[in-house]
Amino acid sequence: MQLWKTLARTPILERGKFLVVEEHRVELPDGRVIPNWDWIITPDYINVCAVTDDGRFICFRQVKYAIAGTSLAPVGGYLEPGEDPQACAQRELCEETGYAARVWLNLGSYCVDGNRGGGVGNLFLALGAHPVAARHADDLEEQELLLLTRAQVEAALDAGEFRVLAWATVMALGLRTLDRTQSKGGTMPEIKTFPRTHVVSIGEMGPWNEAIPRGFAKLFVWLGAHRLVPLGNSFGIFYDDPAKVPVEKLRCELCVPVAEGATGSDDVTAKEIAAFEAATIVYRGHANITAAYNEVYDWLRAQGYRDAGAPIEVYLSKPGEELCAQVFVPIKPAKPAPKKKAAPKKLAAVNKVAAKKPAAKKPAPKK
């Protein structure tokens, strides 16, 4: 599909930092030109589904000028010019409630109006919220701070008590993400050290669901022939991105921990894997653990890290049992974002003109 082209833009209304209206001259893919396409610019904003240490959801009951009556609302606010969305979310949570959160998960960025623009909504789930300071909310509207149970939030969503679309969306996505991360006994990702380990290993290539059992079958036959005893759980290292590499060329390395004096032969290599810091989560379920990888990658980026090498799956279950594996993704701190140049004075308080696309996830190995 071809995108529309903006040929010209003319401001027709400016109301400070909260509203700018432009008239765009737009060219369609078939060559037709629309001379007067209205475009609305409002500041980007954040909304946060914040959950306390004891599982309560931080909300407000408040009034809004455009709403008849009262509405339930999550934490929210506009980004300052050049402000990072997560930094804004953390600031607003503290200012509006006096709470800080231990874990932040990015729920995505969404356009307000697919045709006319408006600000981009950046949604977050904040876990482990706990009081750290006094409230300093500067909202014009009256607010009542509430700590709701999950059942109360679900009932409020069903009854339409979150009366702004973004508010209902962030709460629903927050509940969905909680269900996904906590399903089948799962836990939130955390940072741990993968220990230094001496292994024997064998490389394989091809679809994961074929390469893994094939490689381990060869490796355990070799171990038996050389009278070596495994000293821990076997694991796999996955070197390729299945979104970029053809399935028949996907590389993996299957490993079994053994005594440090062990040596390899034939197709089997003996080596030491150095200790490293990793974002990790335990997964239980069917053989396709893509969701676990997505959870880890989303989480580590939200915490200010980036992945730094091939992921490892440590297999905690036995063949024939429901899969239980611990995923380790090597990490390193993310590079600081470059400082943004100040916007022109004319639109200094307007952060973006067009909706941004959400950051692409790094695809996880599929099996």
- Is the CB of residue 188 less than 8 Å from the CB of residue 241? no
- Is residue 278 a part of any domain in this protein? yes
- Is residue 358 a part of any domain in this protein? no
User: Would you state the pLDDT for residue 358?
Assistant: 43
Q: Supply the CATH number for residue 180's domain.
A: 3.90.79.10
Which neighbouring-strand residues pair with 237?
Answer: 253, 312
- Is the CB of residue 51 less than 8 Å from the CB of residue 129? yes
Q: Do 125 and 33 belong together in one domain? A: no
> What are the respective helix, strand and coil percentages of the chain, to the nearest 5?
25, 40, 40
Domain count of the chain?
Answer: 3
Q: The domain containing residue 32 runs over which residues?
A: 5-41
Q: Do 51 and 179 belong together in one domain? A: yes
Q: Do 201 and 320 belong together in one domain? A: yes
Residue from 242, 284, 258 nearest 202 by CA: 258
What tens-digit pLDDT sequence spans the chain (367 residues)? 899 999 999 999 999 889 999 999 999 999 999 999 999 999 999 999 999 988 899 999 999 989 999 999 999 999 999 999 999 999 999 999 999 998 888 899 999 899 999 999 999 999 889 999 888 766 666 789 999 999 999 999 999 999 999 999 999 999 998 876 654 444 668 889 999 999 999 999 999 889 999 999 999 999 999 999 999 999 999 999 888 899 999 999 999 999 998 998 989 999 999 999 999 888 877 656 777 787 788 888 777 788 899 999 999 988 778 888 899 999 988 765 555 554 444 433 333 333 344 444 444 444 4
- Is residue 356 a part of any domain in this protein? no
Q: Do 292 and 246 belong together in one domain? A: yes
Rounded-to-integer distance, Cα 38 and Cα 87, Å: 31
Q: Do 209 and 289 belong together in one domain? A: yes
Give me the helices (H) in the chain, please: 85-97, 150-158, 165-182, 208-225, 290-302
Q: Do 110 and 201 belong together in one domain? A: no
Q: Do 151 and 246 belong together in one domain? A: no
Q: Do 156 and 99 belong together in one domain? A: yes
Residue type, 303: Q
Tokens 């996904």 correspond to 180
Predicted TM-score (pTM) of the model is 0.56
Residue from 351, 353, 341 nearest 81 by CA: 351
User: Would you state the pLDDT for residue 139?
Assistant: 64
- Is residue 195 a part of any domain in this protein? yes
List the structure tokens of 316.
């905690």
Q: Supply the CATH number for residue 306's domain.
A: 3.20.80.10
- Is residue 353 a part of any domain in this protein? no
360: how many CB neighbours lie within 10 A of its CB?
7
Q: Do 125 and 168 belong together in one domain? A: yes
Q: Do 26 and 153 belong together in one domain? A: no
Rounded-to-integer distance, Cα 201 and Cα 55, Å: 43
List the structure tokens of 203.
């490389």
Q: Do 78 and 176 belong together in one domain? A: yes
- Is residue 177 a part of any domain in this protein? yes
Q: Under the phi-then-psi rule, with left for phi > 0, alpha for psi from -120 to 50, and beta for the rest, what region is 69?
A: left
**Core vs surface per residue 229-259: b (16+ CB within 10 A) or e:** eeeeebbbbbebebeeeeeeebebbbbbbbe
- Is residue 28 a part of any domain in this protein? yes
Q: How far is residue 204 from each of residues 197, 243, 288, 364, measured CA to CA in Å?
A: 20, 18, 18, 18
Q: Do 202 and 177 belong together in one domain? A: no
- Is residue 49 a part of any domain in this protein? yes
How does DSSP classify residue 308? -
User: Would you state the pLDDT for residue 333?
Assistant: 81
List the structure tokens of 307.
């992945």
